[in-house]
Structure 1
Amino acid sequence: AMARFTLCVDCRAEYENPADRRYHAQPLACPRCGPTLSFHAPGLTPLVTGNEPALAACVAALSQGRIVAVKGVGGYHLLCDARDPAAVNCLRERKQRPDKPLAVMAPAVWFDSAERLPWLAAPHAEELALLRSPLRPIVLVPRSAISILADPVAPGLNEVGLMLPYSPLHHLLANDFDGPLVATSANLSGEPVLTDAESVETRLGGVADAFLHHDRPIRRPADDAVFRRLGQRLRPLRLGRGLAPVEMRLQQPVPRPLLALGADLKNTIALAVEDRVIISPHLGDLGAPRSLRVFGQVIDDLSRLYDVSPERVVCDAHPDYFSGLWAESHGLKVERVYHHHAHASAVHGEFGVSAPMLVFTWDGLGYGADGTLWGGEALLGRPGAWRRFASMRPFRLIGGDQASREPWRCAMSVCLHAGLPWPAAPTSAGLAQAAWARGLNAPFSTSVGRLFDAAAALIGIAQRQSHEGHAAMRLEAEASRAGAVEAVSLPLVLDQNVWRMDWAPLLPGLLDKSVSVPRRAGCFHLSLAKAIEEVARLCRDAHGVNAVGLTGGVFQNRCLLETAQRLLVADSFEVRIPEKLPVNDAAISFGQIVEALALMPE
């Protein structure tokens, strides 16, 4: 990307002098010969060129409450004053992102100030160390009681995503602005981050008031990495800039290069060469045409970088996944792996063990081995030989995919299954009730993610959600304020050789308005954690398996994960939680490699 910038006389002398610390430093440049900035505010000001004038114009626009798209190392960010509710709400309205939390970037000196740091948040020591590390990720940290951040930055939540400037441009910008800035990816929902001036001005012209460009091209998009403290460790939630590609090791080499296409949401791809697996950065959701273009580009890049041409590809077993359709259209030999088998194999493969495990794979939805929609499983075995030991009791998803956007549909369904009235049901719910009764566009699912949605709706904190995980995040935030609560026991019923965890006894407590919202949310979390322990005990008693894995997007929930971990450890279980890869669908591509390798004939 720096090849087009010819070195000036001074830089050339440093580059060619073996005694100079900049000898053969390929990104070497200075203000005379390096990339230059330009500031464009259509309809507001003429084009401003030159590094210092463009930077000053950008700071002035931000100080006036404007939204500015700023080009970084891996793509553009949308920036605005994080203290200004009007600016933050304007960004939300224009980006059609009403609730999803926004990351905040602040000057590095603020993180060294005992006075200013509490104005942002209250990070723990290990969180602060990661924020300051060369990775420069977004880290989810506790909010501060004296925070100056506008409420719309992370509405209804008790955490905020913080990041330090990660490039010289961001350092200069943050220091000159001298305040916290919202820094969210410049993209349309679910797509990879935008990387060039023409596309960002065309696609986000209705979002940003102005644009700060530079003329160094970005070869590959790279979103910010995201971390959260889970189970007493900081674990990645998103693989991104500074972290990915991630390299993992296999217990045995693949006979030929193997490509895995991951999941359609939170997509990553993985390339296996010998005993190495290279996992790509976060690519977004494959439902958008641009995401599919970048998906293909990253596959080509990794294949060229490692000088291999995979002849076999692994994809999800879901017949309608975009990744599977891509594989079939490219004439490769396709092997399909079930979503939750890949989740379980990713945990098994990361820890490099050979003994069987019981892995709880709790998430939103995945195509199951019986052709139904799974999402609340406990799988027993090892890669290539998983069997369903336990599962959540199935319930209908009224409206199919619509149920994931409208939690009230999940709430109504569980109440109908349990024979309980729901007085707070929407007035328009009559058609939904009829659809449930007739099974019209109301498939059965064991999804714990949708069960969280139902609980949030029954408690009254989320009837609809504007982004994935919205209801569950609100529920977790409430549970964190619960204090001591008592669990409700979930009966375990053996059904066709699978133990079913029955959620029905949870419903009366969720509907009991005489109990505070935090205590109802806390009881829900504790009860599910207790159910995990009970299933693990059953498995240990029956099969002697003492290793328990926790994975799937539901376990991004700290309250649930740490409660389950504490109960299991106290009961002498060995608990395995992913550390190098996220618990969410970002790990699916690695799990597909591990599972496919185990299924290969000797």
Structure 2
Amino acid sequence: MLQRNPAPSRSMPPRRLRLRVRGVVQGVGFRPFAFGLARRYGLSGFVLNDSEGVLIEVEGGPVEDFRAALRAEAPALARIDAVEAEERPLGHDADFVIAESRGGKAATRIGADAATCPECLRELRDPESRFFGYAFVNCTHCGPRYTITRALPYDRAQTSMAGFAMCPACASDYRDPENRRFHAEPVACPACGPRLSHRIEDIAAALLDGRIVALKGIGGFHLLCDAQNADAIAKLRRRKARDEKPFAVMVGDIATARRFADPTPAEEELLLGAARPVVLVEGRGRLPAGIAAGLSRIGVMLAYAPVHHLLFDELVRRSPTTPVALVATSANPGGEPLAATNEDAERRLATIADLIVTHDRDILVRADDSVMQVVAGAPAFLRRARGFVPEPVDLGSDGPSAIALGADLKNTVCLTRGREAFVSQHVGGLDNAETLRFQRETVEHLCRILAIRPDYAACDLHPDFRSVRLAEDLGLPLVRVQHHVAHVAAVAAEDRLEGALLGLALDGHGYGADGGIWGGELLMLDGCRWRRLGHLATLPLAGGDRAAREPWRMAVGALVAAGRGDLAHEIFAGAPEAARLVAMLEGGMRIAETSSLGRLFDAAAAIAGARMVQTFEGQAAMEFEAIAHEVEADTEGYRIENCVVDFRPLLVRMAEQGLKGAAASSLFHATLIAGLAEWTLATARTERLDRVVLSGGCLANRRLAEGLRARLSAAGIETCLPQAVPAGDGGLSLGQAAFARHVIANDRTQVEEP
């Protein structure tokens, strides 16, 4: 029951303030927090949720103390963007109350899903608690948010908990402003809430028996197996058709993570955060090679849902002397999106999993695990999804609403509202019907939950991208944004950079403004104006798309282009197809060329004998990075002429000297960083620019990103790396949306009317 507040303070004359609180302030315990503050300061009034966030009116003497504490002591999961204050006439309320929510057009936002908090975890393990062993325990400090929310404001009726009637005990908690479950919309207990389809004991037994389990969690299903059982890992790879791409590993706590990996303090901070992403950390070599073959780092995450904690507790109980780790990978057949519904799991996972564990709380928005690493001491995304979406990027100023459709690989979509840009969860590669449906679902849900019908659409220049077709189908005025311009614009948007800057965009493939295949670009960007200042020397793309899957083709093409077909014959002597390719290229066969840094990495890896054929995107570059160490650069390994940097001399030297493995990788990385930095600094001086943005998928290479940043910063250049979204194509939609807003505001000639 609500209790009457103490009388207002007599030390200050009473005032009444209306406070509009904007940001992530629903579903995080903000109303009971405000209630408690009002009681502390002896204030009357009310607090409520509405479509714009939280509305508070407080009356009494110390209203300014209340306003200051509102920001300083906000709940851990809250994100306050603004507290707007307005003087109001005294109302002479007797109490401070929590009033009913108000609807309307949404201008607030819902928070991201959060890992089980310490209080709920304690109750989960406490035999005296009614939540003991309950796989869905949660409170206002933790649990699902975005993935169970249909619309705003964030009330139970708008979530997938709407069909679960609360028992008297849960209803009492839900109505009690002094309880941490006050208006915790997913609140439930064994008497009234969702249920697992299988007992935890049976799931644990299946895993210890070497079986594969599909487990429904927060944003979708995981495929689990014993991470120390090489046969189980091999079986999962075979069934999932995932030959070599690394698997993530889940452990129960940070102490166990340290048994299998060697995280730095910054990496531990990421692991322990409420988002619980997968974090790339140095492995200790204590897991089978099948987890991440050829790589020095492994992806580790801590248990984040109650069901995970229960499962690890049971596994530890059965094997108390052995540290427990599970492979935890997205439950999807190769290339398709994450399975999220029970029916979907039964249909799509039956040939992969030996046991499918479901529950009866619907996942309304599927979201993969986020994947991160630490670059130059700061968090960096490789995949942004659960735990972070839908936190917006602040663009710094209002503007028209635009929806951007991203790229066809690592797809995300982005919707802007006012000064905020909402980048969706990772969608994936748009090369199958399931993922295309997921992309459309994502567009519809973003527009619905933000209550926005966009004014404009933005997309890539590529004429054949599926994402472009969806943008065209929306029937909105359309802005087409060059791929690498969007990469640079994404970083400029998150850092709110104004004016001209230099952008170094390094990736595998992007459709150029001239119709060519770009990928190593030096650009000038100033709002909606841009110029291509320079690029990497082009290399033959021998075999077209096959060259991206078969690095030896890039190596042959590069060596022939450097006039050293003899070296290609020598290195690939055992491959008749390579000899035929050398002959065709030397015979003058016309072939597409690319300035892609990703393809240069492929050529170097193949010359070094590290990787001839790739089974997943970026495999050669990842394995090549993993074996590098610090060496001096070869200053004669590159040439810079007319703002084109040519690394073919480096490839020739590697081939002539027979450099292989770690020696080749180390020299390549050192020389590449030195050459790119010299090229960028020379261009910055010529263009009189003192800010450089680094972006593109190749910046996932930590050695490259840190090396470039260090050299440029040491030369006095302000150097920006992406942090709010991935450097690769997962961040492209943000750049498209930001660039489109500049076009709309300044130069409508680039807008195509529907």
Per the alignment, residue 164 of structure 2 pairs with: 5
Q: One-letter code of the match for 2:303?
A: P
Distance 1:526 1:550 in 2: 17
Alignment of 1:264 onto 2:408: yes
1:205 to 350, 365, 368: 350
Distance 1:66 1:440 in 2: 52
Shift of residue 252, structure 1, vs aligned partner: 3.8
Distance 2:514 2:430 in 1: 25
Distance 2:277 2:364 in 1: 20
Any conservation in 2 of the 1:410–1:450 contact (CA below 8 Å)?
Answer: yes
Residue 97 to residue 440, structure 1, CA distance change in 2 (3 Å): farther
Alignment of 1:82 onto 2:227: yes
Any conservation in 2 of the 1:398–1:435 contact (CA below 8 Å)?
Answer: no
Equivalences for 1:90-239 in 2 at 5 Å?
90-108=235-253, 111-112=254-255, 116-144=256-284, 147-178=285-316, 179-239=324-384
Any conservation in 2 of the 1:348–1:382 contact (CA below 8 Å)?
Answer: no
Instruction: Write the deviation string for residues 550-578 of structure 1: whole angstroms up to 9, x where unpaired.
Output: 11000110111111122212222211111
Any conservation in 1 of the 2:397–2:419 contact (CA below 8 Å)?
Answer: yes
Equivalences for 1:561-576 in 2 at 5 Å?
561-576=705-720
Shift of residue 14, structure 1, vs aligned partner: 2.6
Q: One-letter code of the match for 1:5?
A: F
RMSD across aligned positions (CA): 1.8
Any conservation in 2 of the 1:240–1:281 contact (CA below 8 Å)?
Answer: yes
Equivalences for 1:148-547 in 2 at 5 Å?
148-178=286-316, 179-254=324-399, 256-420=400-564, 421-422=567-568, 423-425=570-572, 426-433=575-582, 436=585, 442-480=591-629, 483=631, 486-494=634-642, 499-512=643-656, 514-547=658-691
Distance 1:66 1:441 in 2: 52
Distance 1:206 1:518 in 2: 40
Distance 1:283 1:397 in 2: 28
Q: One-letter code of the match for 2:262?
A: A
Per the alignment, residue 32 of structure 1 pairs with: 191
Per the alignment, residue 18 of structure 2 pairs with: none
> Secondary structure of the equivalent of 1:600?
helix
Further displaced range: 1-10 or 485-494: 485-494
Instruction: Write the deviation string for residues 138-167 of structure 1: whole angstroms up to 9, x where unpaired.
Output: 0000112xx431111011111000000111
Q: One-letter code of the match for 1:28?
A: V
Shift of residue 15, structure 1, vs aligned partner: 2.5
Shift of residue 117, structure 1, vs aligned partner: 4.2
Any conservation in 1 of the 2:609–2:660 contact (CA below 8 Å)?
Answer: no
> Secondary structure of the equivalent of 1:37?
coil
Any conservation in 2 of the 1:14–1:20 contact (CA below 8 Å)?
Answer: yes
Q: One-letter code of the match for 1:577?
A: L
Per the alignment, residue 22 of structure 1 pairs with: 181
Distance 1:596 1:24 in 2: 39
Q: One-letter code of the match for 2:364?
A: R
Further displaced range: 288-297 or 438-447: 438-447
Any conservation in 2 of the 1:312–1:332 contact (CA below 8 Å)?
Answer: yes
Any conservation in 2 of the 1:341–1:383 contact (CA below 8 Å)?
Answer: no
Instruction: Write the deviation string for residues 48-91 of structure 1: whole angstroms up to 9, x where unpaired.
Output: xxxxxx21111001001111111000000000010111111111
Shift of residue 104, structure 1, vs aligned partner: 0.3
> Secondary structure of the equivalent of 1:241?
coil
Any conservation in 1 of the 2:241–2:333 contact (CA below 8 Å)?
Answer: no
Distance 1:436 1:400 in 2: 14
Shift of residue 175, structure 1, vs aligned partner: 2.1
Distance 2:214 2:234 in 1: 16
> Greater RCO between the two (CA within 8 Å, min separation 6)?
1
- TM-score, normalisation: structure 1: 0.92
Instruction: Write the deviation string for residues 258-283 of structure 1: whole angstroms up to 9, x where unpaired.
Output: 11111111111111122221111111
Alignment gaps of 5+ in structure 2: 1-159, 317-323, 747-754
Distance 2:673 2:302 in 1: 35
Distance 1:63 1:174 in 2: 12
Count of aligned positions: 575
Distance 1:292 1:277 in 2: 22
> Secondary structure of the equivalent of 1:227?
strand
Alignment of 1:552 onto 2:700: no
Q: One-letter code of the match for 1:72?
A: G
- TM-score, normalisation: structure 2: 0.74
Any conservation in 2 of the 1:345–1:382 contact (CA below 8 Å)?
Answer: no
Instruction: Write the deviation string for residues 308-348 of structure 1: whole angstroms up to 9, x where unpaired.
Output: 21242111010000011112233332221110111111121
Q: One-letter code of the match for 1:163?
A: M
Distance 2:330 2:226 in 1: 15
Shift of residue 513, structure 1, vs aligned partner: 5.7
Distance 2:604 2:671 in 1: 12
> Secondary structure of the equivalent of 1:246?
coil
Residue 400 to residue 383, structure 1, CA distance change in 2 (3 Å): farther
Instruction: Write the deviation string for residues 518-544 of structure 1: whole angstroms up to 9, x where unpaired.
Output: 121111111111112211222233121
Q: Which has the larger radius of gyration?
A: 2
Distance 1:241 1:98 in 2: 25
Any conservation in 2 of the 1:396–1:442 contact (CA below 8 Å)?
Answer: yes
Any conservation in 1 of the 2:381–2:726 contact (CA below 8 Å)?
Answer: yes
Distance 2:499 2:401 in 1: 26
Instruction: Write the deviation string for residues 389-429 of structure 1: whole angstroms up to 9, x where unpaired.
Output: 11001112112111111111111110111121222322223
Distance 2:657 2:315 in 1: 47
Residue 479 to residue 326, structure 1, CA distance change in 2 (3 Å): same
Distance 2:743 2:455 in 1: 17
Q: One-letter code of the match for 1:86?
A: D
Distance 1:472 1:236 in 2: 18
Any conservation in 1 of the 2:340–2:366 contact (CA below 8 Å)?
Answer: yes
Instruction: Write the deviation string for residues 9-53 of structure 1: whole angstroms up to 9, x where unpaired.
Output: 3222333344443333221111121111114xxxxxxxxxxxxxx
Distance 1:508 1:468 in 2: 25
Any conservation in 2 of the 1:435–1:442 contact (CA below 8 Å)?
Answer: no
Distance 1:317 1:76 in 2: 35
Q: One-letter code of the match for 1:23?
A: F
Distance 2:587 2:193 in 1: 66
Any conservation in 2 of the 1:237–1:583 contact (CA below 8 Å)?
Answer: yes
Q: One-letter code of the match for 1:169?
A: V
Shift of residue 98, structure 1, vs aligned partner: 1.4
Distance 2:648 2:713 in 1: 27
Further displaced range: 178-187 or 13-22: 13-22
Residue 486 to residue 430, structure 1, CA distance change in 2 (3 Å): closer
